[in-house]
Amino acid sequence: MAGPGAYIFDLDGVVYHGRSIIPGAAEIIERLRAAGSRVVFLTNNATRTREDIAAKLDGMGIGCSAGDVISSAYAASLHILKQYGPSSFFPIGEQGLVTELERAGHTMSGQNVDCVVVGLDRQFTYDKLAAGLDNLRKGARFIATNTDAMLPTENDFLPGAGSMVAALAAASGVEPEVVGKPNRPIMDVLLREYGLKAGECTMVGDRLETDILAGNNVGMHTVLVLTGASRMEDIEDLGIRPDTILDSIADIG
């Protein structure tokens, strides 16, 4: 497979499973960098800051800084800033989301906010849902970091951010602006942040309906690896076709 200017890697299911690195991942990433390719990690995870994600990769032997990571939380912070300017927000999400929003110049508040921003929240409660609903009914914008239905773990799946988003959408009757893969906002942030051209990028992911569709939509070369969520039979079922299919990240050559 010819190496374009940049490789865009999803994380869970591609580079690691939970706390376990996928065999060969560190070596392939080092080889790509040595060959002059830009390597960026693009994740729908909105629970951690970019520094936290980079530290996890670094601890696995993959050299990484915050500047190598685009998360849906970071992308949401820039999307809101570009579209609406500095905004007040009510979060349904974890500290990583709040930190990224505040760094971009947004202000957290409990009521009468400009935006309700929803990501994965493992302390999700009825009270949070009610507060989000109240703000939407008063005219706040509904921003979702992503709508992933499930969160992969080492051994199983847990409810993802899409579960919280769906609850608030059902209560309010309002459809959110969705930032994360496969939607355009996170891809626009990625391309703008690094000055990349989509046609010079390869998107490597394990989910057809997020990673591969996101890359296809903007004109990237797409690579499905079979170490995560999607299987070969899903290609026909979903009608989403990657350009290349590999058993693992270790097979990138």
Domains of the chain: 6-44+181-251 (3.40.50.1000), 84-178 (3.40.50.1000)
Contacts for 249 with CB less than 8 Å, ≥ 6 apart: 9, 14, 15, 22, 24, 25, 28, 204, 225, 227
Mean pLDDT of the chain: 95
What single letter denotes the amino acid at residue 70?
I
How many Å apart are CA 245 and CA 183, to the nearest integer? 22
pLDDT category, 2, cuts 50, 70, 90?
very low
Q: What pLDDT score does 5 carry?
A: 86
* Phi, psi for residue 234 in degrees, rounded to 5: -70, -25
Q: Is pLDDT above 90 for 227?
A: yes
pLDDT category, 173, cuts 50, 70, 90?
very high
> What average pLDDT does this structure show over 109-134?
97
Candidate from 5-14, 19-28, 53-62, 156-165 with smallest mean pLDDT: 156-165
The Cα-based distances of 176 to 115, 160, 166, 188, 230 in angstroms read 10, 16, 9, 18, 25
Q: Backbone dihedral region of 205: left (phi > 0), alpha (psi from -120 to 50 degrees) or beta?
A: beta
H or E stretch covering 178: strand 177-178
Per the DSSP assignment, residues forming a β-bridge with 7 are 39, 202
Structure tokens at 138: 């008063």
How many Å apart are CA 109 and CA 156, to the nearest integer? 35
What is the share, in percent, of the chain residues with pLDDT greater than 70? 97
Q: Is pLDDT above 50 for 3?
A: no
Q: Is pLDDT above 70 for 101?
A: yes
> What average pLDDT does this structure show over 118-123?
97
pLDDT category, 75, cuts 50, 70, 90?
very high
How many Å apart are CA 182 and CA 70, to the nearest integer? 14
The alpha helices in the chain, defined as continuous H runs, are: 25-34, 50-59, 72-84, 95-103, 126-137, 161-172, 184-194, 213-218, 232-238
What three-state secondary structure class fits 169? Answer: helix
Q: Is pLDDT above 80 for 152?
A: no
23-70 residue pLDDT tens: 999 999 999 999 999 999 999 999 999 999 999 999 999 999 999 999
Q: Which of the residues are catalytic? A: 10, 12
Per the DSSP assignment, residues forming a β-bridge with 92 are 118
Per the DSSP assignment, residues forming a β-bridge with 221 are 202
Q: Is pLDDT above 70 for 1?
A: no
Q: Is pLDDT above 80 for 133?
A: yes
The neighbour count for residue 15, using CB atoms within 10 Å, is 27
Q: What pLDDT score does 187 carry?
A: 98
Using only the alpha carbons of the chain, give its radius of gyration: 18
C-alpha 124: how far from chain center:
20
Q: What pLDDT score does 151 carry?
A: 76
Per the DSSP assignment, residues forming a β-bridge with 157 are 152
* Phi, psi for residue 105 in degrees, rounded to 5: 105, 10
What three-state secondary structure class fits 227? Answer: coil
